[in-house]
Structure formats: structure tokens, C-alpha cells
Amino acid sequence: MSLKTRLNAIESRVDELVALCNEYKRHNTSLRTRESQLNEERSNLLRKNDMARTKVEGMITRLKSLEQDS
């Protein structure tokens, strides 16, 4: 193999690696965005869950109070 052939092969491989690196960067950015969205959704669901729990506990307390009054 001549030096020029080897250099061309190395250059080609470097180009492939750069393209792969760019693809991974795009994918990583996409994953980070999705993670952020999922974390936000999780926070909203936890908040709604807490609100629902509070309402249900209040209903149970009122029902117990009504039951004791009967």
C-alpha cells in the first residue's frame, strides 16, 4: 500500500468517525430534550396525584364524620 493510499484510507475513516460523532451528538440532544419533557410530565403527575390524594382524604374524613353523626 502506498503512503497516499494509506492517507486516503485514514482520511476516509476520520470522516466516518466525525459523521458518527455528529449523529451521536444529535441523538444525545434529542434524548436530553425527551428526558426534560418526561421529568416535567412526572412533576405534573406527582402534583396532580398529591392534589387527588388530598381531596380523597378530605372526602374520607367528611364521610367518617357523617357516619359518626348518624
Q: Which residue has the cell 503512503?
A: 3
Residue 69 pLDDT? 80
Any idea which residue has 468517525 for its cell? Answer: 17
Mean pLDDT of 21-40: 99
Q: Where are the alpha helices (DSSP H) in the chain?
A: 3-69
Indicate if the pLDDT at residue 38 is higher than 80.
Answer: yes
pLDDT at residue 43 is higher than 90: yes
Distance CA(45)–CA(64), nearest Å, equals 28
pLDDT at 28 over 80: yes
What is the domain count for the chain? 1
Q: Is the pLDDT of residue 54 over 90?
A: yes
For residues 41 and 57, give the distance between their C-alpha atoms in angstroms, rounded to a whole number: 24
Query: pTM of the predicted model, to two decimals?
Result: 0.71
Domain that holds residue 1: 1-70
Distance CA 24, CA 22 (A): 5
Determine the Cα–Cα distance for residues 68 and 70; give it in Å rounded to an integer: 5
Give the per-residue pLDDT at 70.
72
